Structure 1
């Protein structure tokens, strides 16, 4: 009965926007045990995201992210999104002062204060991508997305060994913006797109030495080719450089779109990097990126959903239903026209084994709700 209602509803439906995804207001969502998110980290990401949304200059230049969401009607406003983020920190600080367990871990409290919009995935788009993918694992995961759940992937900051100089092992660089673009804003660079180095080369060109041979950009650090592909996919590198941990984040890319049907080494998209003080999420300019924390940050379709949405996912864990909160504070090329997936930021890992050991309890699919403070 609910499925029929959701299908018929266009009030909160992305089907109005050529998508089969739906968003349905639920009066009594089944949440289970509230746990897994650290409320101090949730507040940290909430405050940083609120700051981005409230910046008057960014409100004029970044209308893609600073908006209520293209898939909702006018009852979901940017003000409600910001009020929701503010409320998270208000509750967190009140609970700390009262020396009590966070009320954000109390499902009754959460249901009392928030509206829940159940998110049903865009199965048509997921099936279409699967049909055109040569990756069997990706095909299987996309085809198996349930009608009522989102595809939940995990992304992490790759911990890697790096070198300040080129070596036989560390023979691929993370490059800063090319020299001919230094000092330009993103808008200025786009006006000169046809003549700039950044837009001339594919990832494969650069791996084969196009920048290094002609001294077109500054190498920030050097890594192995496998490590380079990992960092380009994840967007952030946590690098052990001569015994010191340093952070590097994507800055600007070569203008080639991410191709969901291709594997990571086949992608032609290439990112130039900048060194940053910690893990950073969404931001049009490197200086304005949102500082984020693991387990309370989602990457997703910011263009359609709008930045800063509070999202709850719920799934079985240890024979009981478990729910956790995180904030949409990051995105990526894989989320263009993608309303079937969320990517949860986990931690920093050297490789698959330690990543898997720490996150094997997390599901491939979960119920999901977008939450807004009740009016």
Structure 2
């Protein structure tokens, strides 16, 4: 995931005053979730109601068809509390799409961009970050920028990073410029379900090599896995970090998504090149989010999809993010957006201080930054539930 330039927002009220606005309180792992009766947020903008509905519907479908996914298909009440239930999460997602479709049929502007409608129809559960864990990670990180960003998380706002599908050039054949492959699952794992592969992990090629060993040619030398496409080494590190690559190959646009990894955990304390974690890929029709295995993954859209700690929060939480934006030297604007928790990442293990917004498709830092520099690094965040 990417870290944007810091524009720290200063808290305007004390914690004591802030908490007095709430009617109930749940604290877990040093993160706080509280029902807020009078939320204040910016003008709803920066997202399309159609794409928000698409992600909501796709996520709801996953929840319906995968009740056995105990990692992600649960209500998150153990952490969030505040009368959270899976039934209410489903009702919220369904109501969101019903509202959007009703507005389309009536030929009117989407009420999902109307602050008064949102306040009248949803309960707001304010999420305050787990600062203790963020500070702990910051104290041991070797990345100075990451340390600063984590230390600067305000007591009343979440750290909101942005991720994107990496736009890359590639080749169907290996060359001097394109010397690293995106590999499909090794040959000895073809046809195995994720569960079956897990049972045989001690025997499988996938678990035998670190990222560095693969880059040095371990798979190629033994012809252990099929290259899907060839990219540069820098591009490989980027797509391993972002999770999805949008490649121009021989004049065609092709999508590649991470499939299964080598079982080594993501290390939040080190940079992308030092990570030992390595992902094998599969070619897919679009950008994908969470799923137990590739055929099940949720199709997601930019600007309305969030990655986060689905293990603790549960999939499908509708969230409202509020922040101040700065454009071209103009006075800051108070803006907000709705988005759905539909993705995850290794950086979110035991992480209740951060969310990651899917920003779009970009070639690299410069065009990503040009399009998103107005967005700050921290935001007020609420989990929304349809009022009963």
TM-score by length of 1: 0.96
Q: 2:333 aligns with which of 295, 299, 320?
A: 320
Structure 1 residue runs of 5 or longer lacking an equivalent are none
Contiguous gaps of at least 5 residues in structure 2: 1-12, 326-330
* Structural mapping, 1:1-375, within 5 Å: 3-4=15-16, 6=19, 12-15=25-28, 19-55=29-65, 58-60=66-68, 62-69=69-76, 70-73=78-81, 75-317=83-325, 318-375=331-388
Contact 1:37 1:325 survives alignment (8 Å):
yes
Q: Counterpart of 2:256 in 1: which secondary structure?
A: strand
Distance 2:365 2:126 in 1: 32
Report how far residue 278 of structure 1 moved. Answer: 0.5
Give yes or no for contact 1:12–1:72 (8 Å, CA) kept in 2: no
What is the alpha-carbon distance in structure 2 between the residues aligned to residue 326 and residue 237 of structure 1? 22
Q: Measure, in 2, the Cα distance between the counterparts of 1:190 and 1:358.
A: 41
Give 1:75 deviation, angstroms.
1.6
**Distance (whole Å) between structure 2 residues aligned to residue 319 and residue 357 of structure 1:** 17
Moved more, 39-48 or 25-34: 25-34
**4+ residue stretches of structure 1 with deviation over 3 A?**
4-7, 9-12
1:195 Cα deviation after fit: 0.8
Once residues 130 and 224 of structure 2 are traced to their aligned partners in structure 1, the CA distance between those partners, rounded to angstroms, is 42
Whole-angstrom CA distance in 1 between matches of 2:75 and 2:25 = 12
TM-score (norm 2): 0.92
Cα offset, 1:6, TM superposition:
4.5
2:160·2:354 contact (CA, 8 Å) conserved in 1? yes
Q: 3-state SS of the aligned residue for 1:155?
A: strand
Change (3 A) 1:10 1:39: closer
- How far off is 1:201 after superposition? 0.5
Tell me if structure 2 keeps the 8 A contact 1:123–1:147. Answer: yes
Shift of 1:321: 1.3
Q: Deviations over 1:274-311 (max 9, x none)?
A: 00000100001100100000000000000010000001
**Contact 1:238/1:246, CA 8 A, preserved across alignment:** yes
Retained in 1: the 8 A contact 2:26–2:82? no
Q: Deviations over 1:300-354 (max 9, x none)?
A: 0000100000011001125331110100000000000000000000111111111
User: Could you tell me whether the CA contact under 8 Å between 1:12 and 1:71 is conserved in 2?
Assistant: no
In the aligned structure 1, how far is the partner of 2:27 from the partner of 2:178?
A: 46
Q: Distance in 1 between matches of 2:271 and 2:292?
A: 26
